[in-house]
Structure 1
Amino acid sequence: MIAPAGSCDRFMICVMLCRNCLDCGGRLAQTSKHLDELFGENDMIAGLVVAGGKSERMGPQADKAFLSLGTQPVLAYSMLAFENCTDIDTIILVVRKDRLSAARGLVQLYGCSKVTKVLPGGSRRQDSVCNGLAEMDEEVTIVAVHDGARPCVTPQLISETIKSAKRYGSGVAAAKITDTVKEVPKGMVVSKTIDRAHLWAVQTPQTFKKELLEQGYAAANKKRLTVTDEASAVELVHKGIRLVPSSWRNIKITVPEDLAIATSLLDV
């Protein structure tokens, strides 16, 4: 098929993927509009960085999001990665209630213009995420949820999860498991070895169409379930969640030793 004179370079793709595009006659503006709708180029995308946990495994009184990592607090690395991701339009931070002022100070210090709200977290991770969703602009169509304690995230990884969410409705960062995995029900006694061939360790960002994320958490709360990540909530209402290959570099700061590892990975 020959593209009509004056049509845009994407005309053939448009015709193949969208029957309605046949009506546009190859006009540049109309064809581009159809493709924008097809590929989610009109989506408003929010980053939701969650750092409202108790950090119990870091020791008494510790808040890992505000521990020093090189010259910056842990949270600053994630916040800046989202700020520097060109696909992100707006950012919401969710932190412990006693850290609201400190978080707002970080936003100002690092000039993060995309951060529009700093909110208090809840008693559980899912409560913190729901707090963020409840305060999100109605125009937002895609949400990338990220652990503030994962400082090694990159703008590129964030974009890859967004790309997947635009196409499939979901994009969850994950790394393939390389260690042998044992099932141990109790007492440090192995019951069986699990085939690792199909096992992946899920990380963040976990990016979803906003509507899916809201439905998933609504289902979890209705069933009074505690879920540890967004994918677990969305699985209650939707199958076929897509993973996005990530790296083991994208570690989560959980215990004191992780700070040394992250320092080395970030070379700070």
Structure 2
Amino acid sequence: MGGTGMRFHDSLPKQFHPLEKGKVYLKTLEAFLTSGLFNEIILVCVKEWCDQVRKEVGSTARVVEGGRTRQESSLLGLQACDLTTDIALIHDAVRPFVSIRILEENIEGAKLYGAVDTCIPSSDTIVYAPGGEKIASIPKRAEYLRGQTPQTFSYPLILEAHQKTKKTDATDDCQLVLELGAEIHIVHGDEENRKITTKRDLLGVS
């Protein structure tokens, strides 16, 4: 929830837009609450919206102030966890249609392997175009997947990854875990687990 959604072209961050008689982030929170899988839910929020979010979620989740980047916000959320935390699941507040199946498989996968990412196949051809002007190559589509969230980790592993990295602008927590040399296994995602990035994504679901 730490993002402001520049691609949304709206003064209201996308996570606060109305969705199914509520707001996008509240729909996401509902999925986590109804799953019954979590000991604690922490919402990392843009500073200016923290007070409002605390009022809206009450005691159902803890709200902490986010950082300047996604990477900073992830670390602040991790540091807010109890030190006895076993598994940490990181999810986009603007993916409100995540299923219980995906949540369960993420947790079980992290217990088995230490790190998992939710991914789906690409139905489009992937092209490699450094600079964005000319195609340099077209890799095999079957070897490339589209990353979603949740991304779920052994808590000590993901905390170590954040503390040891030299990156400052990572857009993905798995990047930092790969830097440590750890393996990341795949949980099969779902097209329904879509990310609300533009106003068009809200059409037909509000």
The one of the two structures with greater contact order (alpha-carbon pairs below 8 A, sep at least 6) is 2
Query: Matched residues in 2 for 1:225 and 1:132: separation?
Result: 16
Tell me which structure has the larger Cα radius of gyration: 1
| TM-score, normalised relative to structure 1 | 0.73
State whether structure 2 residue 143 is matched by structure 1 residue 198: yes
The SS at the match of 2:35 is: coil
Q: Is the 8 A contact 2:90 2:151 kept in 1?
A: yes
State whether structure 2 residue 5 is matched by structure 1 residue 82: no
The residue identity in structure 1 corresponding to 2:15 is A
The answer for the alignment partner of 1:10 in structure 2 is none
The residue identity in structure 2 corresponding to 1:61 is S
Instruction: Describe the superposition over 1:61-113 as per-residue Cα deviations: whole angstroms up to 9, x where unpaired.
Output: 230110111311000111111111222111001111111122112213xxx63
Query: Matched residues in 2 for 1:187 and 1:121: separation?
Result: 32
State the superposition RMSD in angstroms.
1.5
The residue identity in structure 1 corresponding to 2:171 is T
The answer for the alignment partner of 2:173 in structure 1 is 230
The alpha carbon displacement at 1:238 in A equals: 3.1
Q: Is the 8 A contact 2:71 2:168 kept in 1?
A: no
Query: Matched residues in 2 for 1:199 and 1:250: separation?
Result: 18
Q: Is the 8 A contact 1:253 1:259 kept in 2?
A: yes
The residue identity in structure 1 corresponding to 2:173 is E
Query: Matched residues in 1 for 2:17 and 2:199: separation?
Result: 10
Query: Matched residues in 1 for 2:182 and 2:48: separation?
Result: 38
Which of residues 34, 41, 47 is equivalent to 1:97?
Answer: 47
The answer for the alignment partner of 2:84 in structure 1 is 139
State whether structure 2 residue 199 is matched by structure 1 residue 256: yes
| Unaligned 5+ runs, structure 1 | 1-50
The residue identity in structure 1 corresponding to 2:130 is P
The alpha carbon displacement at 1:187 in A equals: 5.0
Q: Is the 8 A contact 1:67 1:74 kept in 2?
A: yes
The SS at the match of 1:172 is: strand
Query: Matched residues in 2 for 1:213 and 1:186: separation?
Result: 32
The alpha carbon displacement at 1:190 in A equals: 1.8
| Unaligned 5+ runs, structure 2 | none
State whether structure 2 residue 5 is matched by structure 1 residue 55: yes
Q: When the two structures are aligned, how many residues end up with a matched partner?
A: 206
The answer for the alignment partner of 1:240 in structure 2 is 183
Distance 1:224 1:232, change over 3 A: closer
